Amino acid sequence: MDFQTPSRGFLVGDRLFSHGLWSGLYRGFAMRAQLQGNETVLEVGCGTGPLSKHIARILRVGGHLICVDTSEAMLGMARRNLAAFDNVDLRYSELRQAGVEDASCDAVFAHFMLHELPAADRPDFVRCLSEKLKPGGRLLIREPIGEDHGMPLDEIRGLLTQAGLSEAQGFAGRLLLVMPYYEGLWSAVPREDADV
C-alpha cells in the first residue's frame, strides 16, 4: 500500500468500510480508552481519520486530539473527514518532529500502523510513544498479527515492555472473523518508578 498516493480502490474502500460499514470497530476501540473528555490525546498514523472522529467526539467536553501522519494525502482526506471538529490538530510530520511535548498526553492511540514501520525503527518509535505519555497515561494499540500481514505478538509486547510500559489489558482476536489481531491497553510507569 502506497500511503503517499493512495489508489482509487483504497479511497473507495476507505469511504465504504472505514468510514461506513466498519465504523463501529473504530468506535469500540476509542471507547476502550475510557476517556473522560478533557484529556490531551495523541493519535499516530491517523490516516484518513476513521478512529480520530470517534476520539474527537469523546473529547468534545474540553479535550484536544493531536493527529500525526507522514502522508500528506491521508491528512488531506482526514482534514475533510474531521472538518466538523474544532478540537483536532492535524500534523504532517514524523513523530519526533511533530512538536508534541514529552509527558504531555493522557492517552496515545496507535491503530494498525506499527507493523508498517521497518523492524529496525520500531524500538525507537515505541520509546517515543512512551515518552509522550504523562505518568500513568495510557497507550492503546491494535495491530494485525497474521503471518502474512502484521507482526508477531511477542514482538509487540516486547517493544512496549522495553519502552517502560505495562500491559493493563490485552487480547488477541479476529477482526471480521478473518484477520488475526492484538489489542492492548498499556500504562506508562510513573517516571520515579521507571528508574527502580
Q: What is the pLDDT of residues 95-130, one digit of tens each?
A: 999 999 999 999 999 999 999 999 999 999 999 999
Q: Is residue 49 part of a domain?
A: yes
Q: What percent of the chain has pLDDT over 70?
A: 86
Q: Is residue 3 part of a domain?
A: no
pTM above 0.85, yes or no: yes
Residue 17 reports pLDDT greater than 70:
no
Chain position carrying cell 515492555: 161
Q: Which domain does 60 fall in, by range?
A: 8-194
Could you report the per-residue pLDDT of 173-186, keeping only the tens digit for each? 998 778 999 999 99
Q: Is residue 2 part of a domain?
A: no
pLDDT band at residue 23 under the 50/70/90 scheme: confident
Could you report the per-residue pLDDT of 43-81, keeping only the tens digit for each? 999 999 999 999 999 998 899 999 999 999 899 999 999
Q: What is the mean pLDDT of the chain?
A: 89
With vertex at residue 131, the alpha carbon angle to CA 136 and CA 117, rounded to the nearest 5 degrees, is: 120
Q: Is residue 161 part of a domain?
A: yes
Q: What is the CATH number of the domain that holds 13?
A: 3.40.50.150
Provide the number of structural domains found in the chain. Answer: 1
* Helical segments of the chain, H only: 8-13, 23-31, 52-58, 72-81, 122-132, 153-162, 191-194
Q: Is residue 39 part of a domain?
A: yes
Task: Output phi, psi for 154, to 5 deg.
Answer: -60, -35
Q: Is residue 83 part of a domain?
A: yes
Residue 196 reports pLDDT greater than 60:
no
Measure the CA–CA gap between 186 and 31, rounded to whole angstroms: 15
